[in-house]
Amino acid sequence: MIITEVAAQATPAMQVTPADWPGGYWWHWLFFSVVLIVFMLGMVMGAIYIERRGMGKMQWRRGPNRTGPFGVLQPVADALKVLIKENIVPGVADKVVHWLAPVIAFVPVAMIFAVIPFQNGALLADLNVGILYIVAISSIATVGVFMAGWGSSNKYSLLGAMRNVAAVVSYEIPLVLAIIGVVMFAGSLSMNQIVAEQEIPYILVQPMGFLLFFTAACAEINRSPFDLTEADSELTAGFHTEYSGMKFALFYLVEYAEAIAMSAIITTLFLSGWKGPWLPPWLWFIIKVLIVFFVMVWTRTTLPRVRIDQLMALAWKFLFPLALINLFITAIEIIVWPDASQWIFVIINIAIAAVLVLLWSKRFKTGWGRIEV
């Protein structure tokens, strides 16, 4: 598929609503705004439950099991608890920044969901630059995190916030480069179009892209083993050390909403989104999101945390060159064999990815260790 052709075919319209959609434009916005908020909060609750129970099972303990059947009401109980807790602001904190930080961290994460398709055409805004919009929006959350770290006037918070900024700035690059591979195959930046183009899930066509994206996404949203921003054994709670009550709950919500958003993006880009046999498309979408999230929980329970210089080394020495090579190979494949079956690329790309990752991990050295003081 040649990119120029697709660009010509792409519709300039904002959304792909069915013709018999009642009420038209405003109905669409209202309906999907409500659906998105319900989806986000519901998924976050589910995510918290899966994480706590899943971690419990993996760690040979039970996890929460007292509230409701199998402890399913634990997130509700947690939410109620933080709602009625006292809101403490440190005396020397920058009050405005401290108050504004959770809001600024939360809003962009909520906005990511606007362009994620639940089934064909079922999304708030089918932007023709959907994935670009996500990349642009998702970085704003970092500002909120840094404001939290700076405004708390606490050294632990500041260290955590600095780590977060360093991580996001570095990992944005392999993240975007991994996305470009997918965009080149799909020939579109629209999230809905990317799903529609996937006859084979792109995880097979772009295996390296998937690995790079997953790693970079974990680092970007501070999931373990890259959770240096919070690093509870080092920085007590990192950037939200000084937060309590509902403001803390917002950061907690952001953490899981980001994880769900990243899972949804991975599902859309690499796991063919809502596509799947037998079940309704939206159910497929949710199942895939939860599977991706489960993998994140899995890595969290399995791996120790990396150090900040190792984190940087991984981004610049490992992911960045591999992302460039992956981009180069993908570009050649698309230009030289525009009409070839994607199944050929599946075999070639998996082989290339395996060889490259193996070779690179042999030569790769993390960090620089001790500094003379």
Site of interaction with other proteins (CB under 8 A): 55, 58-61, 155-156, 159, 162-163, 224-225, 227-228, 231-236, 300-310, 366-367, 369-373
What the block records as the tokens of 251 is 């950061």
**Who's near 262: CB < 8 A, 6+ residues apart?**
217, 218, 220, 221, 292
CB of 225 to other proteins, least distance (A): 6
**Who's near 39: CB < 8 A, 6+ residues apart?**
113, 118
What do you get for the CA distance between the two ends of the chain, in Å? 57
Residue 239 DSSP symbol: G
Pairwise CA distance, residues 239 & 307, whole Å:
17
User: Helices marked H in 187-244 — which ranges?
Assistant: 191-197, 202-205, 207-220, 232-235
What the block records as the tokens of 17 is 């609503």
CB of 163 to other proteins, least distance (A): 8
Between 40 and 47, name the residue whose CB sits nearer to other proteins.
47
Between 56 and 281, name the residue whose CB sits nearer to other proteins.
56
CB of 284 to other proteins, least distance (A): 31
Between 126 and 230, name the residue whose CB sits nearer to other proteins.
230
Residues 289 and 274: beta-carbon distance below 8 Å: no
Which run of H or of E encompasses 54? helix 24-58
CB of 117 to other proteins, least distance (A): 33
Residues 77 and 84: beta-carbon distance below 8 Å: no
CB of 188 to other proteins, least distance (A): 37
Which run of H or of E encompasses 98? helix 95-112
CB of 235 to other proteins, least distance (A): 8
**Who's near 151: CB < 8 A, 6+ residues apart?**
93, 94, 95, 96, 97, 98, 100, 101
CB of 301 to other proteins, least distance (A): 5
Between 275 and 305, name the residue whose CB sits nearer to other proteins.
305
CB of 251 to other proteins, least distance (A): 18
Between 85 and 307, name the residue whose CB sits nearer to other proteins.
307
Between 166 and 327, name the residue whose CB sits nearer to other proteins.
166
Between 94 and 309, name the residue whose CB sits nearer to other proteins.
309
Between 4 and 233, name the residue whose CB sits nearer to other proteins.
233
Task: For residue 62, give the nearest of 52, 76, 74 by alpha carbon.
Answer: 52
Residue 188 DSSP symbol: -
- To which residue do tokens 């006859």 refer? 199
Helix (H), strand (E) counts: the chain:
16, 0
